[in-house]
Structure formats: structure tokens, C-alpha cells
Amino acid sequence: MTAFASPASADVLSPGEIEKSKNMHLLTNIPKNGAFEAESSFSSDLAFKGDYAFAGNYNGFTVYDIKNPRKAKQALQVFCPGSQNDITVYGDLMFLSVDSLRSDDSCNSTQLSTSAASATGTGYWEGIRVWDISDPLNPVYVKSVETDCGSHTHTLVPDEAGESVYVYVSSYNPTAALADCQPPHDKISIVEVPLDDPTAAAVISEPVLFPDGGLIPRTAGCHDITAYPELGLAAGACMGEGVVMDIEDPENPVVLDRVADTENFAFWHSATFNNDGSTVMFTDELGGGGGATCNPVVGPEKGANAYYSLSDAGELTFQSYFKIPREQASTENCVAHNGSLIPVKGKDVMVQAWYQGGISVVDFTDAANPVELGYFDRGPLSDERLILGGSWSAYYYDGYIYSNDIQKGLDVLEIRDPRVANGKAGKYAEDFNPQTQPSY
């Protein structure tokens, strides 16, 4: 467990200030602009394809040219509202998650209230949007697939034959008021997308992961799933608990083990495997990402990472917690969020977003004793009120760290440190979606 620093209030950063370790360097920032400039237009997740980064936003998505990461530039912005617009790419296809009640599936749809949607019965839409990105600078919207309770996040699982890709849809918060989001919703939706005919994409199964209703009452569906297709495994962060699944048959995932932490984990948010699949790191999104939880009052074990060893039989055993050891202001939302491995040979090193807690690089090779190697942290957006902001996702791609900041836009950073130097040699395949883990 990492000791939590408790600096005097004068040591907490002020708006406009930056604090970082000597090995972390901000190379460029591309601010939000145009239709995404408003405070309410939140930047969300990231995916990568060759020389392009695809960045989700509650109002659509942005394509960045990252051929020269030090001089990354915005190439395209597409307006297509629907929170969270969680984003992935696979071959010539891009997928966006919509977890908000839309009047229809188009990019011109309007947001409906729960009462308005329930009054129309099934006269609303939420789910997955499928785009053709064979020309990344001319994306074409080709298909929508409606899913129960929408799609808060999703995860891609390619089939071994290379004919289809499966989309594991995570959603939660069922309500009896909505026809397509009925309780108990202890399931995920699986969409099959034929690669030669994506317009035929459809829900093919809805496996129930929690037939007993979950280990604790708030479990209902999942928030996020990370797949490791090469190992035939997936790890799900499912609100009230963490699960490990066998996905050798991707249409029929089988739960191998489940764990809960009623003392310290409030909301199981996401998961990451280490490279050999012997460790799973789960995150706790205490406060739903909107709270100031990086302070001595909350402490070092809540809103943190939890590391579990994973046996060959698929059994999870708790090892430790990690939370960034820097106090954040009371106007900064700060909690564990999305990250990915840095491909360092022989080590388990990860870069991770912490909202307004910034970006942290952690070595968890010894899962019982994780150690922070570097960090980058901005001061609060305001010292008068909490403005939702900070790094939503921080991922390592071909030698650089890319962070999609909710308010500040795209950051490109570099870590220069002999402890991770050989990570520069690790290259991913043409596509990189952090929730579909490759080996290195």
C-alpha cells in the first residue's frame, strides 16, 4: 500500500500551475475547439490506428494526425452527440458507445429526459454506432445497433477466423420506467459485426453474468470490460464487483471468479491485465469521477487501484492498493481512471489517468508493492468551484503517452527514464484499443 502524502494546503497546486516529475515532459497540447469547446462537451476515450488517434467527446469525435507526435495536429472533428462516445477502432471500422436517451440513432438526434423516453415507450434510441473509417479523414456512419440500457462502454473481441469482430457492450443503471432497460439487467450485450458487411451487425447474445443478482446489491451489468483475446480471458469491472471470464468462445463468456471489496471499493470501474496475465488491476471510481477524493480525509485505499494475482485456474487473490501520493484541491475531481501498459521487457509498467489528479506511471511488477515512476499534474480548473475535468484516458502508443483531457483537449507526453527506456521498442499492431489488450 502506498503511503498517502499530506502536504499543507499551501502545497496544493493553484489554477494554471503544473507539477511534474523530472522524467515526464509535455510535448504538445491541442485545446478543445469548435463544437467541442464548451465546458459541458466532455472529452472521453481514445483509440489508435496507424498515424491517427481517435478521440471521443460527448458531442462526437476528433481525429488527430500523430505521424509526428511532437507536432500532432487536429485533422478532423465530427459532431455526433451521445454520451460517452466511448471509442474503438478495428480495421476499417470505428465504434462509438451511446449511453444517453436519443430521439433517434442519427447524429442530428436530440437528448430526451427519462420521463419523455418512458412516455414514448420504445420511441428512443441508445446503443452502438458503427462507422467506416477506410479513409480516416472521411468517416461514414454505416450502422446503428440498439442495446438494452444503451452502451456506456464497449470492448472489441476479434474472432479467430478474422471474419467478424464481437462488441461486448457494458451498461448499467436499469430502471423500470424504460422499456429497454428493465431490472435486474445482470447481463452484457454481445454484438457481432461481420467485417465484410458491417451493416449486418446485430445483437447475437445477452449472457447473464450474475444469475444470483451479484455479490452485493448494486451489481447490475458492467461498467467496463478489458479483453485479452490471446489468453482467452476478459476482466470485467461490474459496479459492485470484479469478475474474470473465459472468452475462448467469444459468443458465450463464462465467469471464472468474482471478487468484492465492501470496505474500500465503491464502484468497480475498469480493469487491466499485466502482460502475462498473472495480475489484474481493477480501479475504483469513487464518487463516479465527479468527486474530490484525492486527499487525506478519503485516504489511500478508496478511489484507488487494487491489484489481484490471477491463478492458472482463474482465481483472483488480493495483493495491494495504489493511489497517487499527492493531495489535490477540494475543487478537483480526482480518482483512478483509464490507463494502459507500457511495453517494458520483463516488467509490468502502466500509465494511468486520474482525472484532475493528472497522469501517473506505475511499476507493479511486484503487485504487492507498486511504485510510482513518474507523474504530470495540472492545478485545478478553478479554485472557486469544481469543474469536471482532467485526464479521462492516458495511454502509451508507439513511444509516447496520449491523454484526452476532459477540458484541455489532447496532450502528448513523453517519459524519459532508463527504467522504461526499452518500452520505446514495443510497437502495437495497426490498431490499438487499450481495452482489447495485445501482448508484447
Q: What is the pLDDT along the chain (440 residues), one digit of tens a residue?
A: 344 343 435 589 999 999 999 999 999 999 999 999 999 999 999 999 999 999 999 999 999 999 999 999 999 999 999 999 999 999 999 999 999 999 999 999 999 998 888 877 778 999 999 999 999 999 999 999 999 999 999 999 999 999 999 999 999 999 999 999 999 999 999 999 999 999 999 999 999 999 888 777 777 889 999 999 999 999 999 989 999 999 999 999 999 999 999 999 999 999 999 999 999 999 999 999 999 999 999 999 999 999 999 999 999 999 999 999 999 999 999 999 999 999 999 999 999 999 999 999 999 999 999 999 999 999 999 999 999 999 999 999 999 999 999 999 999 999 999 999 877 766 666 799 999 999 98
> Residue 360: what are its φ and ψ, rounded to 5°?
-130, 140
Q: How far is CA 101 from CA 26, 283, 297, in A?
A: 37, 27, 37
End-to-end, the C-alpha distance of the chain in Å comes to: 28
- Report cis status (omega within 30 of 0) of the bond before 352: no
* Cβ burial 195-215 (10 Å sphere, 16+ → b, else e): beebeebebeeebebbeeebb
**Cβ count within 10 A of residue 121:** 10
Give the global pTM: 0.96
